[in-house]
Structure 1
Amino acid sequence: MEFPAFPDSAHPLTWPEGYRAAASFTFDVDAESCTIAHDPTSTRRMSLMTHQSYGPKVAVPRLLQILQRQDIQATFFIPGFTAESYPDVVRRIVDAGHEIAHHGYLHEPMQGIDAATEARYIDRGLEALAKVAGVRPVGYRAPWWELNWHSPALLADRGFLYDSSLLDGDAPYRFSVAEGDSRDLVEIPVDWALDDWEQYAFYPGVTGSGVIESPAKVLEMWTLEAEAHHAAGSCFVLTNHPFISGRPSKAVALEQLISRVKNMDGMWVTTLAKIAEHTRDTVTEVHTHARIEVPGFPDAGARFTPAQVRQPQLPADPLQSTTTVP
């Protein structure tokens, strides 16, 4: 007996004609940046630095070969510092036709920082990507998937189309950037079960439990996830880090997965930018996110503001939106 996979009813959408679901393979090219941001003294650890530099030096060229052989376009989230450190690698990604998206400057810790500090991080990353690759990204993924409540407005201020950092859906949706702000972004949700970090990442004194999973087990798990997303008509988004999934056996398993996903009937395998464009152009609902305020724990209790869904308000008369200057 086959059991159905139920769609994400909170975020309904239809895919382009001929497609029943979508999938995107994304790569966070952190290189040394994530370890430096976690602990600046890690630069003194020669072996650790080489562990991270494996990503741009060895893994990215290997992954580009795989993507070319499979004839798909991927999305690469690149910190500005990585772009400055490995400009030729970043230009190879661009020349191969893949999407470049924003991932901070030095993979900075985002939790609890103020808006002005976060704006500096975003702007510095934008400047680095423009200088190195000549691109102005439309997509953003927060380091460690850690958005602040003020982050969406900062992204909208800078013309971003979408974010891929939140975890409250199986399908893309539009969301309001702030209370009282008419602007919105597209969110393309992620999932820790679809991140290679949780399966493979280990470095003594830095991260991981010491258990590095078999690529065969990971391939099975990710295949099951892709099959369920396909059956539900939702959006399978895989997050990989080149210094992890670009290692030989893991890269082989990744290519096997790509081949399987490509061959699912009606699966649209594309970049996050194209998925975001489709969502923006076809979805009218705009969501807010639930907010919880705890003024004083535990005695003062907590206040919950539920999430809402609204339809954009259009002027009754198109002339109302036109200003005449005498």
Structure 2
Amino acid sequence: MNNPQPWEWTEPQWRGHIEKIRAGESLLAPDPTARWKDGAKAAVLLSFDSDHETIPLRDGETSPGRMAQGEYGARAAVPRILRLLHRYEIPASFYIPAVCALLRPQEVPSYVDAGHEVGVHGWIHERNTLLTFDQELDLLGRAAEVLQKQSGAKPTGIRTPSWDFSDSTMDVIRELGFTYDSSLMADDVPYELIADGEPTGIVEIPVEWIRDDAPYLTMDRYTGLRPYMPPRQLGQIWKDEFDFAYESGGVFQLTLHPHVIGHPSRLVVLEDLLKYIRSHDGLWITTHEKLATHLGSRLTARTPQQ
């Protein structure tokens, strides 16, 4: 049979799919007092995926209405977010598709000038699993070049568009020299990525749909996608997630989107969360890049020589 169904796969076949990319050792130091910078109790990472117009664009949707929804993120939300982060002295990581960066050449520099990290987030928020290795390498390589030119520094981290990790993504990450990824969900805390059973030396800073604004607050009038939770109720979920990270000495990582969280009735929830976080002592609030650099020293295996 040319295309066997999953229940017909041999054990090497199903094991091969499972073992393609796996979670390696946790990168947290066993001693909680030695895990974080300056003896902090826990780490906090805020990130923003500045997708703007690219989500509809990548699907060929070009109506002025859809473009306006994305434009809101850059025009109205990003300035508000930057002011809020400044008010609470929060460094964050911004992942932006290259098309967005090219559309507004001052956006990336505004992040850098405010002390934030800029990471790769695809070319046009493409779906990596639909691409060949060469296509994915080309798009992400060109995206990294755009961000390096605009930010003045080579991006060290990647968040794949839609957290879409293809069979080629790990090879692309290695080829382009990224030191960390933030697209997968195998743990609550960072770990080393294992590819085909071998350590890669790549730090994974895991994400999770629970700690993402889009699943709760996105609106699409042509589908069943509707906001189903009051923003203030969502804020309690994130506080609970933070509480667990704080008490366990772990990492609270949050993913937000300017065009989603940046509306007034939603931004108040983010501000309330920042107030709550700031009410706790012993936190290392940092960027994904700085956390990955800190944790990289715990890797027991380095990237194999090519």
223-232 or 10-19: bigger deviation: 10-19
Alignment-mate amino acid for residue 52 of structure 2: A
TM-score scaled by structure 1?
Answer: 0.79
Instruction: Tell me the SS of whatever aligns to 2:138.
Output: helix
**Match of residue 281, structure 2, among 249, 262, 265:** 265
- Look up the match of 1:144: 162
Instruction: Tell me the SS of whatever aligns to 1:236.
Output: strand
* Conserved 8 A contact 1:219-1:257: yes
Instruction: Tell me the SS of whatever aligns to 1:52.
Output: helix
* Conserved 8 A contact 1:79-1:107: yes
User: How far 1:160 sits from its partner (Å)?
Assistant: 0.8
* Conserved 8 A contact 1:177-1:185: no
User: How far 1:284 sits from its partner (Å)?
Assistant: 3.1
**Match of residue 108, structure 1, among 106, 115, 126:** 126
Alignment-mate amino acid for residue 191 of structure 1: E
* Conserved 8 A contact 2:42-2:245: yes
CA distance in 2, matches of 1:9, 1:255: 35
User: How far 1:178 sits from its partner (Å)?
Assistant: 5.3
CA distance in 2, matches of 1:66, 1:192: 23
**Match of residue 172, structure 2, among 137, 141, 154:** 154
The reply to whether residue 209 of structure 1 matches residue 230 of structure 2 is no
171-180 or 145-154: bigger deviation: 171-180
* Conserved 8 A contact 2:55-2:125: yes
CA distance in 2, matches of 1:209, 1:179: 38
User: How far 1:183 sits from its partner (Å)?
Assistant: 4.1
Gaps of 5+ in 2: 1-22, 30-34
The reply to whether residue 219 of structure 1 matches residue 240 of structure 2 is no
Report which of the two structures shows the higher radius of gyration computed on alpha carbons: 1
- Look up the match of 2:37: 16
User: How far 1:249 sits from its partner (Å)?
Assistant: 1.6
CA distance in 2, matches of 1:157, 1:209: 37
CA spacing shift, 1:51–1:202, aligned 2, 3 Å: same
Aligned length: 276
The reply to whether residue 189 of structure 1 matches residue 206 of structure 2 is yes
Gaps of 5+ in 1: 1-7, 287-311, 314-326
Instruction: Tell me the SS of whatever aligns to 1:189.
Output: coil
CA distance in 2, matches of 1:198, 1:34: 14
The reply to whether residue 230 of structure 1 matches residue 246 of structure 2 is yes
**Higher helix fraction: Structure 1 or Structure 2?**
2
CA distance in 1, matches of 2:56, 2:224: 13
Deviations 1:160-207 (A, max 9, x none): 110000100111122245556x642100001110000011011212x6
User: How far 1:118 sits from its partner (Å)?
Assistant: 0.7
The reply to whether residue 245 of structure 1 matches residue 252 of structure 2 is no
Runs of 4 or more above 4 Å deviation: 177-180
- Look up the match of 2:9: none
- Look up the match of 1:200: 217
CA distance in 2, matches of 1:253, 1:63: 12
CA distance in 1, matches of 2:143, 2:224: 27
